[in-house]
C-alpha cells in the first residue's frame, strides 16, 4: 500500500538555522504516530514541512506517491488536514461556521448544512456548542472545536500539533481514543505530543525527534529508560505486568 | 542773510534735521499698493514679496525695490521708521514689529469705498504725504459720483471665481457692483462674505451678466470642486454675457477698485442697450 | 446566530433604506420643491427649472454621496478582513489621504488635462501605494496599535505633501481646495463625475467579492488558511487592489472621508454575523446609506457655509470608532 505521507531526508532551516536535519518518515493508513521530543526539537517544523506550509532545503515529500510540487493547492487540502499549535480565531463566528471551514477544499465553506460538519462535531463532542460564537468558548472547548474543524475535512492524513494540550484529563483521554479510532478507520495520524504516557498508551508507533534529527522510530516499546534519560532528561520505569510507564525527574 | 538761511537749511537737511519723510517697509501686497502710490521713491525701503506678482496693481512700480518677507529680522535690517501692513506679519504684528523701534500702521480690511478712503488717509498721514492722499481721494470721489450719476442698469450679475466662490454683501466686490449700478445676485439672496456658488438659485433665476474674477492668474485651472464644473452651470455661464475683471483690480480694496466699477458699468449698459 | 435567511432580509432592506434616503435628499435644498415635483422631475421628463435642479443637481449629489459611502464601506470590510482587524479603515490607515495626494498631484501637474480618467486613476494609484505599504509593514503580524500608528504616520505625511503643493501653487484658491480634498464634500457633483467613478466601484467591489472565500478562511489565521487550500496570495492581491480601487474612486468623487469604513462593517456584523465574507455587501449598502444620511443632515443645518461631509462623518464616526476600539477584545485559542 502506498504510504499516505512519505518524507525522505527532509531538512528545514529557518533564518539560517537548521531546525530539521535529514528526517525520513513514512505514514501508512491505520497508523497513529506520536511525534515526541523535548521543546525545540523541531516537532512543529517537521509537521509544517509535512503539511507543505514551509519550503524545505533538501529532501523529498510525497503525498500518496505524488510529489508535493505536483499537487494543486486544493487537492493537497483534500488529502491532508493540519491542526496547528497556535490557533487564533479572529472573528467571533459560531462553532458550526468554524467547523464548516474544514470543508473549504470542497468549495463548501459556507454550506452550513453539510452532513460532514455534523459528523465532525459529534466525533469531537462539540455538537452542543454548534450555535455558540467563538468568543464565548473556553480554552478546552475551543481546542475541541479546532479538532472538529480538522476532522470535518475527512482527509486520510491528519497532522496535529499538540491537539490535547489545552484539554482537561477526561477530554485528553477521549480525544486520544478518538484519534486511535480514526486510525483504525484507515486514516494516518501524526500528532506531536508532550504527554509521553498518553502517547505510549494510545499510539501505534512513536517517532522520537531530538535537535532536529529522528533518533528513534518504532512501536511504543522503543520508549525505554535510555531514551528517556538521553533525550528527555527524565527517569522512566516500565511496569512489567501492566506495561504502563511511570516517569520521574532524574 | 537770505544766503545764510538757505545755507543753514541745506546743512540741516543734510544732517537730517530738516523734515525728512519717514522710510517705510510694507508687509503684504495690499499695503504695498498704498506705499508705492503715495510715497516718494526714497521713502520706500522695501515692499513685500507679493509686490511684483501679477495680481499687484502697482507691480511695475514695485520692480526696482527690495522685496522682503513679513519677518521681523528682514524688516528691522533695513532700519525703517515705519511699517505699513494690512495682514502681513500676523495678528500680533502691531506689537512685535514695534519692538525694533518702528511705527506700525495697520490699514483696515477694505470692504467698501469708505474703507478705502480711510486707508488712503491713514497711509498718507503716516508717510507725511497728506496732499497726495487728498488728491487721490478727490479723484476717487469724482469718479464715484460720475458713476452714481448714471442711471442704475439693475442688471442681475453673478461674480464667479475659478474656486467656485462668489462674493456676497460686505465685500469690496459687492461695493464695486453697487457703484456700477448692477444687482449682486449673491447679496440679493441674503448671503454675505464669500459663499460658494448657489447652484439651485442660479438655475431658478439665471444671471444676465457673469463677472469673472481671477481667471487670468497664472494657474487658470477650474478647481476640482467648483460648481463651475457642473455641466448645468457651465452651460448657463457659456450662454450668458460675461466680463472679465483682471486680478490686479480685485485682489485688494483700493482706489483702483473704481476702475473695475467703471468697466462693469460699461458692460452692463451694453447689455441693457441690446435688450 | 445569523443564518442565510438573515442576510436575505437585510440586503434588500438596506437597498430600500438607501432608496428612501436618496428620495428624501431630493426634497432638500434652497429651492422649495415638494414630493410631487420630485416625482414629476424623475419620471415625467420636463425641462423647467425645478426638473433641472432635481435631475442635474440634487440627484447626482445624493447618488455621489451614496456611491462614495458604498465604496468606503466595502473597502473597509475588505481591509478589516485582510488585516484581521476590526479597526482597519481606509481613512485611519492613511489610504484615503494617499489617494487624495495622488489626485492632487495629477491635477496640479496638469496631468488631469490629458484625459478625464486621469484624476481617479491617480487617486487609485495613491491608494494602492498606501495599502501595499501597510501590508508590507505588517498585516496581521503586528499589533493593532502599531498598524494604526503606521496609518497615522502615512496620513500625516500625505497631508503634509498636499499642503506643500498648495503652498507652492500660484492659485490663490489653493487653500479652499485643500480643505475640500482633506475634509470631503459632494456638493456640485454631476452625472459626469458619477459615470467616471461607477465603473471603478463595480470593479473594486467585484475584486473583493472574489476574495471572499479567502477572507473567510483567514478567520483562522494565515497558517490554517493555507492548509485549508486557500490561495492566500491571490486573496491578498485582490483585497489590496480592490480596496485601493474603491478608495480611489470614493476620493475622486468626494475627497477624503474617514470612519465610514469602520462603522459600516461594524454595524453589518451586528446584523449578519461576524463572517468576514458575509459582511462585504451589507457593508457597502450601509456605507452608502450612512453617507447619504450624513449629506442630508449637513444640507439641513442652517449654517452659512455648508459643513464638510468628511467633518460630519467624523463627528458621528469618531466617537463610534473610539467606542469600537475600547470594547474590542481579541480572541485566541
Nearest to C30 among B200, B217, B226 (CB): B200
Confidence of residue B12 (pLDDT cuts 50, 70, 90): low
What ipTM was predicted for this assembly? Answer: 0.92
CA distance B219 to B54: 11
What local confidence, expressed as pLDDT, does residue B217 receive? 61
Q: Dihedral of CA C150/C153/C159/C160: which sign?
A: negative
Mean pLDDT to the nearest integer, B263-274:
91
How many beta carbons lie within 10 A of that of residue B94, not counting itself?
14
Does A contact B via 3+ CB–CB distances below 8 Å? no
A91 CA: distance to closest CA in chain C (Å): 6
Confidence of residue C332 (pLDDT cuts 50, 70, 90): very low
Give the three cell numbers for residue C31.
429651492
pLDDT tens digits, one per residue of B67-99:
998 888 888 889 899 999 998 888 788 888 888
What local confidence, expressed as pLDDT, does residue A230 receive? 93
3-class state of residue B21 by DSSP: coil
Pick the closest to residue C213 from C277, C284, C275 (CA basis).
C277
What local confidence, expressed as pLDDT, does residue C1 receive? 40
Residue C107 has pLDDT above 60, yes or no: yes
Q: What are phi and psi of A224, to 5 degrees?
A: -115, 180
CA distance C139 to C141: 5
Phi-psi category of residue A34: left, alpha or beta, with phi > 0 → left and psi -120 to 50 → alpha: beta
Question: Strand A157-161 relative to strand A17-27: parallel, antiparallel, unpaired?
Answer: unpaired
CA distance C126 to C101: 7
- Among all chains, which residue has been given the C-alpha cell 442565510? C4
Residue C171 has pLDDT above 70, yes or no: no
CA distance B265 to B177: 8
Chain C residues within 8 A of B232 when measuring between CB atoms: 52, 56-57, 190
Mean pLDDT to the nearest integer, C140-154:
78
CA distance B26 to B44: 9
CA distance B88 to C82: 50
Contact C188 B225 (CB under 8 A): yes
pTM for the whole thing? 0.85
Nearest to A51 among C85, C227, C330 (CB): C227
pLDDT tens, per residue, chain A with 250 residues: 578 999 999 999 998 899 999 999 999 999 999 999 999 999 999 999 999 999 999 999 999 989 998 999 899 999 999 999 999 999 999 999 999 999 999 987 888 999 999 999 999 999 999 999 999 999 899 999 999 999 999 999 999 999 999 899 999 999 999 999 999 999 999 999 999 999 999 999 999 999 999 999 999 999 989 999 999 999 999 888 877 889 999 8
Contact A89 C223 (CB under 8 A): no
CA distance C112 to C313: 28
pLDDT tens digits, one per residue of B16-72:
544 688 999 999 989 999 999 999 999 999 999 988 888 889 999 999 999 998 888
Contact A97 C275 (CB under 8 A): yes
Q: Are A189 and A32 in contact (CB under 8 A)?
A: yes
CA distance B165 to B193: 10
Rg of the Cα trace of chain C?
Answer: 20
Residues 6+ apart with CB under 8 A from C198: C67
CA distance B50 to C153: 34
CA distance B46 to B84: 11
Segment among C117-126, C138-147, C204-213, C216-225 with least mean pLDDT: C138-147
What local confidence, expressed as pLDDT, does residue B1 receive? 59
Give the three cell numbers for residue A69.
510540487
CA distance C225 to A249: 40
B-side interface with C, Cβ within 8 Å? 55, 161-165, 191-193, 195-201, 203-204, 214, 217-219, 221, 223-227, 229-232, 251
Chain C residue with CA closest to A82: the answer is C227
Question: C63 - beta bridge partners?
Answer: none
Chain C residues within 8 A of A167 when measuring between CB atoms: none
User: Which of A104, A126, A137, A149 is the best substitution to test chain C (most C C-beta atoms within 10 A)?
Assistant: A104
Q: What is the DSSP letter of A220?
A: G
Q: Dihedral of CA B232/B234/B238/B244: which sign?
A: positive
Confidence of residue C327 (pLDDT cuts 50, 70, 90): confident
- Among all chains, which residue has been given the C-alpha cell 448657489? B198
Pick the closest to residue C126 from C148, C104, C149 (CA basis).
C104
Contact C188 B199 (CB under 8 A): yes
What local confidence, expressed as pLDDT, does residue B27 receive? 92
- Looking at chain A, how many residues does it have? 250
Residue C87 has pLDDT above 90, yes or no: no
What local confidence, expressed as pLDDT, does residue C183 receive? 86
Pick the closest to residue A231 from A38, A11, A7 (CA basis).
A38
How many beta carbons lie within 10 A of that of residue B149, not counting itself?
7
CA distance A188 to A79: 11
What local confidence, expressed as pLDDT, does residue A92 receive? 93
Amino acid at each position: 500500500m502506498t504510504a499516505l505521507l512519505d518524507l525522505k531526508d527532509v531538512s528545514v532551516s529557518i533564518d539560517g538555522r537548521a531546525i530539521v536535519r535529514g528526517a525520513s518518515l513514512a505514514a501508512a493508513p491505520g497508523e497513529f504516530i506520536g511525534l515526541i521530543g523535548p521543546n525545540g526539537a523541531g516537532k512543529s517544523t517537521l509537521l509544517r514541512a509535512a503539511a507543505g506550509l514551509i519550503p524545505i532545503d533538501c529532501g523529498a515529500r510525497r503525498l500518496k506517491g505524488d510529489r508535493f510540487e505536483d499537487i494543486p493547492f486544493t487537492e493537497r487540502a483534500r488529502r491532508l488536514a493540519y491542526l496547528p499549535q497556535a490557533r487564533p480565531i479572529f472573528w467571533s463566528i459560531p462553532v458550526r461556521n468554524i467547523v464548516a471551514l474544514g470543508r473549504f477544499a470542497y468549495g463548501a465553506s459556507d454550506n452550513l448544512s453539510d452532513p460532514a460538519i455534523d459528523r465532525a462535531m459529534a466525533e469531537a463532542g462539540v455538537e452542543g456548542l454548534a450555535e455558540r460564537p467563538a468568543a464565548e468558548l473556553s480554552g478546552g472547548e475551543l481546542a475541541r472545536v479546532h479538532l472538529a474543524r480538522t476532522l470535518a475535512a475527512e482527509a486520510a492524513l491528519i497532522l496535529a500539533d499538540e491537539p490535547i494540550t489545552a484539554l482537561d484529563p477526561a477530554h485528553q483521554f477521549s480525544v486520544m481514543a478518538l484519534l486511535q479510532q480514526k486510525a483504525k478507520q484507515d486514516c494516518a495520524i501524526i500528532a506531536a505530543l508532550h504527554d509521553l504516557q498518553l502517547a505510549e498508551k494510545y499510539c501505534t508507533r512513536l517517532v522520537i525527534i531530538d535537535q532536529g534529527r529522528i533518533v528513534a522510530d518504532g512501536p511504543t516499546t522503543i520508549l525505554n529508560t535510555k531514551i528517556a534519560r538521553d533525550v528527555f532528561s527524565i527517569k522512566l520505569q516500565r511496569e512489567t505486568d501492566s506495561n504502563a510507564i511511570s516517569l520521574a525527574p532524574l | 542773510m537770505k544766503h545764510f538761511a538757505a545755507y543753514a537749511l541745506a546743512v540741516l537737511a543734510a544732517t537730517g534735521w530738516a523734515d525728512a519723510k519717514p522710510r517705510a517697509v510694507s508687509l503684504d501686497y495690499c499695503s504695498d499698493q498704498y506705499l508705492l502710490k503715495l510715497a516718494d521713491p526714497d521713502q520706500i525701503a522695501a515692499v513685500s514679496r507679493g509686490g511684483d506678482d501679477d495680481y499687484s496693481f502697482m507691480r511695475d512700480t514695485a520692480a526696482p525695490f527690495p522685496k522682503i518677507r513679513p519677518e521681523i529680522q528682514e524688516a528691522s535690517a533695513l532700519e525703517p521708521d515705519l511699517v505699513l501692513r494690512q495682514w502681513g506679519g500676523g495678528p500680533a504684528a502691531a506689537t512685535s514689529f514695534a519692538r525694533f523701534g518702528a511705527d506700525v500702521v495697520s490699514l483696515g480690511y477694505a470692504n467698501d469705498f469708505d474703507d478705502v478712503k480711510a486707508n488712503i488717509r491713514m497711509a498718507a498721514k503716516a508717510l507725511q504725504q497728506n496732499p497726495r492722499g487728498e488728491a487721490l481721494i478727490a479723484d476717487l470721489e469724482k469718479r464715484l459720483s460720475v458713476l452714481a450719476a448714471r442711471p442704475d442698469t439693475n442688471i442681475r450679475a453673478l461674480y464667479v471665481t475659478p474656486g467656485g466662490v462668489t462674493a456676497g454683501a460686505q465685500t469690496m466686490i459687492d461695493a464695486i457692483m453697487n457703484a456700477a449700478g448692477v444687482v449682486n445676485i449673491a447679496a440679493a439672496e441674503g448671503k454675505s462674505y464669500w459663499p460658494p456658488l448657489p447652484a439651485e438659485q442660479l438655475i431658478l433665476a439665471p444671471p444676465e451678466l457673469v463677472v469673472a474674477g481671477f481667471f487670468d492668474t497664472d494657474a487658470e485651472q477650474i478647481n476640482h470642486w467648483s460648481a463651475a464644473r457642473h455641466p448645468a452651470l457651465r452651460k448657463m455661464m457659456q450662454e450668458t454675457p460675461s466680463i472679465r475683471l483682471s486680478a490686479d483690480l480685485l485682489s485688494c480694496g483700493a482706489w483702483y477698485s473704481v476702475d473695475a466699477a467703471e468697466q462693469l458699468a460699461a458692460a452692463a449698459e451694453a447689455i441693457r442697450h441690446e435688450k | 446566530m445569523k443564518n442565510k435567511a438573515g442576510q436575505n432580509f437585510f440586503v434588500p432592506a438596506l437597498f430600500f433604506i438607501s432608496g428612501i434616503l436618496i428620495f428624501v435628499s431630493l426634497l432638500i435644498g434652497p429651492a422649495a420643491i415638494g414630493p410631487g415635483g420630485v416625482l414629476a422631475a424623475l419620471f415625467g421628463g420636463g425641462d423647467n427649472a425645478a426638473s433641472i435642479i432635481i435631475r442635474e443637481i440634487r440627484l447626482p449629489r445624493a447618488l455621489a454621496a451614496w456611491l462614495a459611502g458604498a465604496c468606503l464601506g466595502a473597502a473597509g470590510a475588505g481591509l478589516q478582513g485582510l488585516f484581521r482587524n476590526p479597526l482597519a479603515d481606509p481613512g485611519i490607515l492613511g489610504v484615503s489621504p494617499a489617494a487624495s495626494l495622488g489626485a492632487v498631484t495629477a491635477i496640479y501637474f496638469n496631468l488631469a488635462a490629458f484625459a478625464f480618467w486621469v484624476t481617479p486613476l491617480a487617486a487609485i494609484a495613491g491608494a494602492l501605494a498606501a495599502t501595499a505599504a501597510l501590508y508590507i509593514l505588517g498585516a496581521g503580524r503586528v499589533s493593532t496599535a502599531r498598524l494604526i500608528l503606521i496609518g497615522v504616520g502615512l496620513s500625516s505625511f500625505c497631508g503634509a505633501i498636499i499642503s506643500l503643493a498648495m503652498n507652492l501653487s500660484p492659485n490663490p484658491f489653493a487653500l479652499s481646495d485643500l480643505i475640500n480634498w482633506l475634509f470631503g464634500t459632494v456638493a456640485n457633483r454631476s452625472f459626469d463625475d458619477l459615470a467616471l467613478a461607477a465603473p471603478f466601484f463595480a470593479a473594486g467591489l467585484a475584486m473583493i467579492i472574489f476574495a471572499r472565500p479567502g477572507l473567510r478562511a483567514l478567520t483562522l489565521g494565515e497558517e490554517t488558511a493555507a492548509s485549508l487550500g486557500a490561495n492566500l496570495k491571490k486573496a491578498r492581491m485582490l483585497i489590496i487592489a480592490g480596496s485601493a480601487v474603491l478608495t480611489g474612486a470614493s476620493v475622486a468623487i468626494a475627497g477624503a472621508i474617514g470612519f465610514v469604513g469602520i462603522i459600516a462593517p461594524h454595524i453589518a456584523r451586528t446584523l449578519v454575523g461576524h463572517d468576514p465574507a458575509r459582511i462585504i455587501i451589507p457593508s457597502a449598502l450601509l456605507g452608502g446609506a450612512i453617507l447619504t444620511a450624513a449629506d442630508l443632515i449637513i444640507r439641513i443645518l442652517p449654517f452659512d457655509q455648508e459643513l464638510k461631509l468628511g467633518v460630519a462623518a467624523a463627528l458621528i464616526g469618531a466617537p463610534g470608532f473610539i467606542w469600537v476600539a475600547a470594547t474590542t477584545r481579541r480572541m485566541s485559542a
